[in-house]
C-alpha cells in the first residue's frame, strides 16, 4: 500500500470506528429500561361470593325485606278478592258497580305498589353488590400491598361454558359470547389468593 493510500484509508477506518461507537452509545442511551417482572395473583369470584360473610348479611336483610313485602302483597290481594266476592254477592246493581269500581281502584293501587316495591328491592340488591365489590377491591388492595402482589386478576377461566334453552340466542352464540368475554385461559393454583381474601373480608366484622 502506498503512503498516500495508507494516509487515506487509515483515517477513514478510524472515522468508521468512531461513528460506530457513537451510534452504539446513542442506541444504548435511547433503549428503554425493561420493567421488572410483575408478581401476579388471581381470585375466584364465584368462591369468594359464596364464602364472604358480608354476602350472608345482605342476603338475610334482603330476605327479611322480601318476606315482609310478600306478606303485604298477599294481604292486599286477599282484600281485593274479598271486595270482588262481596260485589258478586250483592243483588243491588248500583251497589255492586260501586264495589267493582272500588275493586278496580284497589287493583290499580296494588299494581303501582308492586312496581314501586320491585324498584326498591332492585335498588337494595344493587347496593348489596356495590358494597361487596367495594369490600373486595379494598381488601384485595390491602392484601397486594401486604404480600407484594403487583397485579390481582379475576380468574375467569374457571367453570364450563353453559348453554340454556331459556336464552333467546342460539347455543352457538351463547358459547361464543362466553368465550369472547373470558380474558384468561389458565392460571396456576399457586397464584390463587381467594382464601386469603376471604379471611380478610370476613375479619372486617371483628
Residue from 177, 183, 182 nearest 164 by CA = 177
Name the grid cell of 130: 356495590
CA distance 161 to 38: 30
Burial of residue 144, with CB atoms counted within 10 A of its CB: 0-12 exposed, 13-18 middle, 19 or more buried:
middle
What pTM did the predictor assign?
0.67
Mean pLDDT for each 10-residue chunk of the chain (206 residues)?
46 48 50 74 92 81 90 92 89 87 92 93 91 92 94 90 87 91 90 94 78
Question: What are the residue ranges spanned by the domains of the chain?
Answer: 37-205
**Per-residue pLDDT, 6:** 47
**What does the alpha-carbon distance between residue 170 and residue 176 come to, in Å, rounded to a whole number?**
10
pLDDT at residue 3, as a whole number: 46
DSSP code string of 92-126: -HHHHHHHHHHHHHHHHHHHHHHHHHHHHHHHHHH
Amino acid at each position: 500500500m502506498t503512503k498516500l493510500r495508507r494516509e487515506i484509508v487509515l483515517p477513514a477506518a478510524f472515522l468508521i470506528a468512531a461513528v460506530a461507537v457513537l451510534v452504539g452509545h446513542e442506541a444504548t442511551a435511547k433503549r428503554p429500561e425493561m420493567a421488572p417482572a410483575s408478581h401476579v395473583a388471581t381470585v375466584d369470584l364465584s368462591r369468594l361470593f359464596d364464602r364472604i360473610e358480608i354476602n350472608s348479611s345482605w342476603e338475610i336483610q334482603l330476605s327479611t325485606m322480601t318476606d315482609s313485602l310478600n306478606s303485604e302483597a298477599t294481604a292486599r290481594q286477599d282484600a281485593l278478592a274479598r271486595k270482588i266476592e262481596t260485589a258478586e254477592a250483592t243483588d243491588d246493581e248500583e251497589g255492586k258497580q260501586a264495589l267493582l269500581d272500588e275493586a278496580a281502584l284497589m287493583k290499580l293501587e296494588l299494581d303501582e305498589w308492586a312496581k314501586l316495591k320491585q324498584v326498591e328491592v332492585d335498588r337494595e340488591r344493587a347496593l348489596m353488590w356495590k358494597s361487596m365489590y367495594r369490600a373486595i377491591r379494598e381488601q384485595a388492595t390491602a392484601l397486594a400491598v401486604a404480600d407484594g402482589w403487583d397485579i390481582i386478576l379475576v380468574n375467569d377461566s374457571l367453570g364450563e361454558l353453559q348453554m340454556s334453552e331459556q336464552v333467546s340466542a342460539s347455543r352457538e352464540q351463547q358459547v361464543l359470547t362466553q368465550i369472547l368475554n373470558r380474558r384468561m385461559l389458565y392460571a396456576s393454583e399457586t397464584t390463587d389468593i381467594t382464601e386469603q381474601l376471604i379471611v380478610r373480608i370476613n375479619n372486617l366484622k371483628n
